[in-house]
Amino acid sequence: MTGSDVIVVGSGASAVHAAVALVDAGLRVTMLDVGHEDLTYEQMIPPASFEEIRRTDATQHRYFLGDRLEGVSIGSVGSGPQITPPRSYVLQDSDRLAPKRGKHFDALESFACGGLGRAWGAVAFPFNDVELARCGLPLTALRDHYEAVARRIGISGRRDDDLQSLRGPLAALQDPLQLDHNAMAILNRYGTLREGSRRQGFHLGQSFLAVLSRGLGEREPNAYRDMDFWSNRGRSVYRPDITLGELRRHAGFAYRPGFLVTRFEETTDGSVTVSGRRLGEGTDERLSARSLVLAAGSLGTTRIILRSLGLYDHAVPFVCNPHTYLACLNYRGLGTAHAERCHSLAQLSAFYDPTRNGEHLVQAQMYSYRSLQLFRLLTGAPLPLREGLRIMSLLAPHLVIWAVQHEDAPSADKYCVLRRDGGLEGDTLEINYALSSEERARHEQDEKAIARFVRRLGCMPLNRVRAPHGASVHYAGQFPMTTQDTPLTTEPSGKLRGTRAVYVADGAAFAYLPAKGPTFTLMANAHRIGVGIGQSLRA
Amino acid sequence: MMPAGLAILVTGAGGFIGKAVVRRLLQDGWTVRAMVRPASAPSISSPDRLETAYADMRDGAALVSAVRGCFAVVHLAAAKDDEPDSEDVNVGGARRLVEACRAGGCRRVINISTQSAKIARKGAYARTKSEADAVFRASGLDVTNLLPSIVYGEELAGVFGTLAKLARASPFLPVMGNGKWLSAPVHVEDVAAAVLGCIKTPATIGKDYDIAGPELLRFDELIDRIAAALGKRPPMKLHVPLTVALTLARLMARLPKAPITVSNVLGSNQDTHIDIGPAQTDFGFEPRPLEPGLRAVAAALASRSESSGGDESWASECRLLCRYLIDCEPTADLIARYRAGVRLKLADGELDDADWRWARRHPRCIAYLDAAAALTPRSSSLRARLYVLAALVETMPVHADRFLPRRASKTRLLTALAWQATRVGCKAVIGLPMLAWARRFA
């Protein structure tokens, strides 16, 4: 390779959209990535609906349960419930390649091709102006990039519903996807209670999803087979590896999997040198470029920056959305027919606006419990298994999960530190995360309010599960973007202060996380940073 | 010297001969990549030096990745039952494998063919295998072709398996043809040893070897010897004339799983010249005599079917739990998966506890113990086993309808729920004192 203009670290949601902008600007880009893939399960899954597969495929136990029964967990439910066996490669090797520890914190990192984006729930939220400002993101500039990313990845949804004012604008939308029977019933019920609910700060509408309702390029519209937790045939659900596939057709783009980036160094001749390890051969290698874009996931990026700067035992801020699951019975729908054709992802989004000014939203998205197996419902349920299975088979078509997300702002009790012990590179990332008593009280209050709201919509809460800290996988905040000239922050251009040409293009630059999945905003921001680097390098 | 640390790919590793070859190579210290079809169940216990590759002989790309990094291939995968795609699997597969070897820089191939590749009048199996042999000979790779006669072993597979099962079960036995066909049965472990011998002996490159036992005997005689080893009287043989046998085999070819194929009939009616001399000279092939070989097999089969603690106790436990959970008898497949599942999911310390000992001793109490244990926070081996079984049963197509949503009116649904809730309550009331007793005294 004759050198490249920009090196991008990682292949996840942020990395690929930064790379798109760089390649569009005519720059030569090299993407360094570990890049694990699933070689076992996905190819075994037939192109049929969940019910059809359940009735006909004699090999289904292999991908539903996993060859080592990794999909069966006895006892407590850990984090990452969406990591089904066909997706287990997403977390493969992460403990070995990225050692971390944290009291009361389960951090998930990915070394997959496409990163954690390979297991993304695909709910796409544009942030509103207040939220963007609190994240430190330049709001006027970001809107165009939201649109550019939406056009590329395909987002379906309904623009003119009750969430409009709280959601943030987006013009490039495909038609909304079909809703399932539970969602229809709940939305109808909301229609009759709308005015009262809105007065109390509750808003309900269909989720924006990065899932196609009509074809886009080589991708097909969602086939409503209810298999979206297991396979992505036709690629209707957006995954970063789709964009990576497009990038790899460009002559100016090179993808180098099997490469673990460990550190960078700025040299006197004005270039950036990246050191890493070729995992296959176990050899070390150095590469140089004019600019470096770090998008290894906020924890990976933090590790690389702190290690490169020699900042051991130095705390940087950290934020993460707390998650709570409300398992409910849609009792108003009991006995009604269930829809055969549906997708498995989030159907509805509810916003609760406790301050009535859109500044501290709580958000919950609704899933139907269908295309997972009943036995999963019986871990820890106080029911004998024989009767338990029968009860669950009666209730399952009407079981819905409301996944409640809270915003998260930095505090003194939330921070990451790189410690000089253990690990492949001689260090371990320590993650400390504790909520203050005020935060806990507010979450409690907000969850009760949401529970009241869903009860009015016909959903009887059966069980509330506080996911362990870290389970939301929304991590951010280490090198916040700000206009103030403070060390260990990033400039609005994404450039890490104190460096000449090292950019942070992932969540590490978000100072705050609103109660909305950040993935779509990560992509838009990475695209913005990529465009900016393109302009400055060509100038 | 052999290149060290590189793997040997074994295609058809899940088969009768394949398993023996994998075992033998591992014993000898090699790293083995066992290739099985994507739909096969994985091997449960895998030592470090055993990798699994999922590939089908019809998938060239998968073969390329299976061969990558291997220095030798032992080729056993074949369509043996005259299937319509025999040509594609056996001949096409050989071509793809040769291509994959070239692409991956793998030069050494041990190709397991068959004696029937030498006969004049061939069925689809024999014809495609002999064409495949030609593909390997012409490939320019370092090939050795092995042509085994009838292979026997503790697993009742192939011609030997069919004969042994019939001889065990029935006082008379249909023989396709006149029963005068000559073969020299060879033990499966001796075939595996021959494969290893070839890998270690470069002088075998470019040659074909007959792999057979030391004793040549007629088909009728072989049947009597098998029966004798199994402790049975010589069965009455019903000789079916060759033409009739062929017609029968052709008719049966339309069945989804034919008990006998045209290749079987033709293969067991044309003699081949079998000479193990070259194998003995070139790589010290030393097949065991037939009589003790058959007796050892019979002894192993007998001990397995009788008590043999392990298997039977797993089966009875799985049967017990399956009856409780879904009122069904488990299939052999489910028992095997249950056994593997329990080993995977339950730590050694969880395998046995008071709940489980009590449940084993008093199977009728399982329902009550389950209901009671569900209410206590303590982990329970009985619950964990039931949970593993529930997951396995739920992913079996035959049971799908029990778990998939059913349409029911609101009234029926509520009635059903109420009935189940009542059962849960009653069982828990009876079960709690029982569980307390068991945990205290068992």
Q: Tokens for A479? A: 């090198």
List, for residues B330-350, the tens digit of each pLDDT value.
888 999 999 999 988 888 777
Give the residue ranges of DSSP H helices in A200-293. Answer: 240-247
Cβ–Cβ gap A54/B420 under 8 Å: no
The CA distance from A80 to the nearest CA of chain B, in Å, is: 19
pLDDT of residue B307: 39
The CA distance from A55 to the nearest CA of chain B, in Å, is: 4
**Which phi-psi region, left, alpha or beta, contains residue B234 (left: φ > 0; alpha: ψ -120 to 50)?**
beta
Confidence label for B37 from pLDDT (cuts 50, 70 and 90): confident
The CA distance from B63 to the nearest CA of chain A, in Å, is: 13
CA gap B27, A76 in Å, rounded: 40
Residues of chain A contacting B367 with CB distance shorter than 8 Å = 384, 386
A60 touches chain B (CB under 8 A): yes
Q: Which residue of A has its CA nearest to B325?
A: A386
List, for residues B362-412, the tens digit of each pLDDT value.
888 999 999 999 998 888 899 999 999 999 999 999 998 888 887 778 888
Q: Which residue of B has its CA nearest to A40?
A: B54
Which of B39, B386, B417 has the CB atom closest to A385's CB atom?
Answer: B386
Which of B324, B345, B404 has the CB atom closest to A74's CB atom?
Answer: B345
List, for residues A235-269, the tens digit of each pLDDT value.
999 999 999 999 999 999 999 999 999 999 999 88
pLDDT of residue B377: 84
Cβ–Cβ gap A384/B384 under 8 Å: no
ipTM over 0.85: yes
Residues of chain A contacting B394 with CB distance shorter than 8 Å = 373-375, 389
Cβ–Cβ gap B384/A385 under 8 Å: no
Q: Where are the domains of chain B?
A: 7-304, 309-441
Cβ–Cβ gap A389/B406 under 8 Å: no
| Parent domain of A284 | 4-538
Cβ–Cβ gap A387/B423 under 8 Å: yes
Which of B375, B388, B397 has the CB atom closest to A72's CB atom?
Answer: B388
Q: What percent of chain A has pLDDT over 90?
A: 75
Please state the domain count of chain A.
1
pLDDT of residue B303: 61
List, for residues B125-144, the tens digit of each pLDDT value.
999 999 999 999 999 999 99
CA gap A309, A232 in Å, rounded: 40
pTM: 0.70
* Nearest alpha-carbon partner for A129 in A165, A172, A154: A165
* Mean pLDDT of chain A, nearest integer: 92
Q: Which residue of A has its CA nearest to B388?
A: A72
User: Would you say B416 and A394 are in contact if contact means Cβ atoms under 8 Å apart?
Assistant: yes
A3-29 per-residue burial string, b: 16 or more CB within 10 A, e: under 16? ebbbbbbbbbbbbbbbbbbbbebebbb
Q: Which of A5-19, A80-94, A325-339, B17-31 has the lowest mean pLDDT?
A: A80-94
Which of A59, A335, A387 has the CB atom closest to B420's CB atom?
Answer: A387
Angle at A34 between CA A33 and CA A36, to 5 degrees: 125
Residues of chain A contacting B421 with CB distance shorter than 8 Å = 391
* Nearest alpha-carbon partner for B148 in B200, B107, B189, B177: B189
Residues of chain B contacting A381 with CB distance shorter than 8 Å = 374
Q: What percent of chain A has pLDDT over 70?
A: 98
The CA distance from B336 to the nearest CA of chain A, in Å, is: 13
Q: Phi/psi at A6 (nearest 5 deg)?
A: -130, 135
* Nearest alpha-carbon partner for B380 in B317, B315, B438, B318: B438
Size of the A and B interface in Cβ pairs below 8 Å: 136
Q: Would the pLDDT of B1 be above 60?
A: no
Cα end-to-end distance, chain A, whole Å: 24
Cβ–Cβ gap A54/B370 under 8 Å: no
Cβ–Cβ gap A69/B383 under 8 Å: no
Which SS3 state, helix, strand or coil, does residue A418 take? strand
Q: Would the pLDDT of B177 be above 70?
A: yes
Q: Which residue of A has its CA nearest to B381?
A: A74
The CA distance from A8 to the nearest CA of chain B, in Å, is: 28
Q: Tokens for A196? A: 């009262």
B417 touches chain A (CB under 8 A): yes
Which SS3 state, helix, strand or coil, does residue A458 take? coil
The CA distance from B394 to the nearest CA of chain A, in Å, is: 7
pLDDT of residue A42: 85
Cβ–Cβ gap A387/B400 under 8 Å: no
Q: What is the DSSP letter of A210?
A: S
* Mean pLDDT of chain B, nearest integer: 87
CA gap B209, B144 in Å, rounded: 8
Give the pairing type, strands A202-206 and A459-466.
unpaired
pLDDT of residue B4: 40
The answer for residues whose C-beta is within 8 angstroms of residue B257's C-beta and 6 or more apart is B81
Angle at A458 between CA A454 and CA A460, to 5 degrees: 70
Residue written as token pair 């699951």: A325
pLDDT of residue B375: 92
Residues of chain A contacting B397 with CB distance shorter than 8 Å = 54-58, 60
Which of A51, A373, A386 has the CB atom closest to B394's CB atom?
Answer: A373
Q: What mean pLDDT comes out for the span B237-251?
A: 88
B344 touches chain A (CB under 8 A): yes
Q: Would the pLDDT of A166 be above 70?
A: yes
Cβ–Cβ gap A384/B407 under 8 Å: no
Choose the most confident range, by mean pLDDT, from A40-44, A183-187, B3-7, B120-124: A183-187
Q: What mean pLDDT comes out for the span B184-208?
A: 93
A380 touches chain B (CB under 8 A): no
Cβ–Cβ gap A378/B390 under 8 Å: yes
The CA distance from A336 to the nearest CA of chain B, in Å, is: 7
The CA distance from A456 to the nearest CA of chain B, in Å, is: 20
Confidence label for B308 from pLDDT (cuts 50, 70 and 90): very low
Residues of chain B contacting A64 with CB distance shorter than 8 Å = 395
Q: Which residue of A has its CA nearest to B395?
A: A61
- Residue B68's Cβ-side half-sphere holds a number of Cα atoms within 13 Å equal to 9
**Which phi-psi region, left, alpha or beta, contains residue A492 (left: φ > 0; alpha: ψ -120 to 50)?**
alpha
Cβ–Cβ gap B405/A384 under 8 Å: no
Fold of B7-304: Rossmann fold (3.40.50)
A334 touches chain B (CB under 8 A): yes
B387 touches chain A (CB under 8 A): yes
pLDDT of residue A250: 94
Cβ–Cβ gap B397/A51 under 8 Å: no
* Nearest alpha-carbon partner for A376 in B385, B380, B398, B387: B387
B341 touches chain A (CB under 8 A): yes
Cβ–Cβ gap B325/A57 under 8 Å: no
B397 touches chain A (CB under 8 A): yes
Q: Would the pLDDT of A395 be above 60?
A: yes
Output the 3-class SS for B239-291.
EECHHHHHHHHHHHCCCCCCCCCHHHHHHCCCCCCCCCHHHHHHHCCCCCCHH
Cβ–Cβ gap B397/A60 under 8 Å: yes
Burial class (CB in 10 A: 0-12, 13-18, 19+), B338: buried
Cβ–Cβ gap A56/B390 under 8 Å: no
Q: Would the pLDDT of A193 be above 90?
A: yes
B2 touches chain A (CB under 8 A): no
B413 touches chain A (CB under 8 A): yes
pLDDT of residue A419: 94
Q: Which of A114-123, A310-319, A452-461, B27-36 has the lowest mean pLDDT?
A: B27-36
Q: Tokens for A291? A: 């600019």
CA gap A502, A493 in Å, rounded: 11
CATH code: domain of residue A420:
3.50.50.60
CA gap B171, B233 in Å, rounded: 8
pLDDT of residue A373: 84
pLDDT of residue A351: 96
Q: What mean pLDDT comes out for the span A405-425?
A: 91
pLDDT of residue A105: 86
Residues of chain B contacting A63 with CB distance shorter than 8 Å = none
Residues of chain A contacting B395 with CB distance shorter than 8 Å = 54, 60-61, 64-65, 373
